[in-house]
A and B are shown apart, each in its own frame.
Chain A
Amino acid sequence: GAGVSQSPSNKVTEKGKDVELRCDPISGHTALYWYRQSLGQGLEFLIYFQGNSAPDKSGLPSDRFSAERTGGSVSTLTIQRTQQEDSAVYLCASRRQESAEKLFFGSGTQLSVL
């Protein structure tokens, strides 16, 4: 595609519900990241998929968070039993290969947990 696509753009949910956030990276990009952006916390690294290697999950804040990348393309970030502190913008980024090249970012999913 022309750019990194994320859906939904906005998600409002009730505390305790599960949510799924989707990311479609640029076609052919092998590296895919999820970040969380919240006030005062900047861009917090969550998880990194790099080609066929095992993902780097070191940034996931708790076991309620998980992510998958199917077929080396689309990725889904799942948050189970959402809490109010999960409210943030969740950003996806992709890169052509495992290199020092720049990241291409999506527009993010604004998650609000009531």
Chain B
Amino acid sequence: AQSVSQHNHHVILSEAASLELGCNYSYGGTVNLFWYVQYPGQHLQLLLKYFSGDPLVKGIKGFEAEFIKSKFSFNLRKPSVQWSDTAEYFCAVNRNTGGFKTIFGAGTRLFVKA
């Protein structure tokens, strides 16, 4: 079955630490990849997305993600986290076939200590 795996369920970092959240997917073929973020008390919102082209994509608030096709991965990174990055992060995938049905990973809760 098609799936999205996020390796870390809970991450605790101090401010200014670097962040990398793993995401792997099991889909074959052409995929579209997303990271969504849910800040406490807020709606889920898009952080960044990859459709094609440069596999290193940049999103809002200094986040970036790299698509590595050979590893079926789309890891999220930020060089220096802030307390305001405390949130839950979700990786998501869809394909150009199958009506662009979007499947999410289990999420990673990030807590940044001030």
Contact = CB atoms under 8 A, between A and B. Distances in A.
B100 interface: yes
Contacts of A102: 34, 46, 49
B43 A43 contact: no
A103 interface: yes
B96 A42 contact: no
B107 A33 contact: no
Interface residues of B, number: 24
A43 B90 contact: yes
A54 B76 CA distance: 34
A33 B102 contact: yes
B39 interface: no
B107 A43 contact: yes
Interface string B42-86: 011110010100000000000000000000000000000000000
A50 B98 CA distance: 10
Contacts of B45: 105
B43 A98 contact: no
A106 B43 contact: yes
B28 interface: no
20 contacts: A3-B43, A31-B100, A40-B106, A41-B106, A42-B6, A42-B105, A42-B107, A43-B90, A43-B92, A45-B102, A45-B104, A48-B101, A48-B102, A91-B44, A93-B44, A95-B100, A99-B100, A103-B36, A103-B44, A103-B46
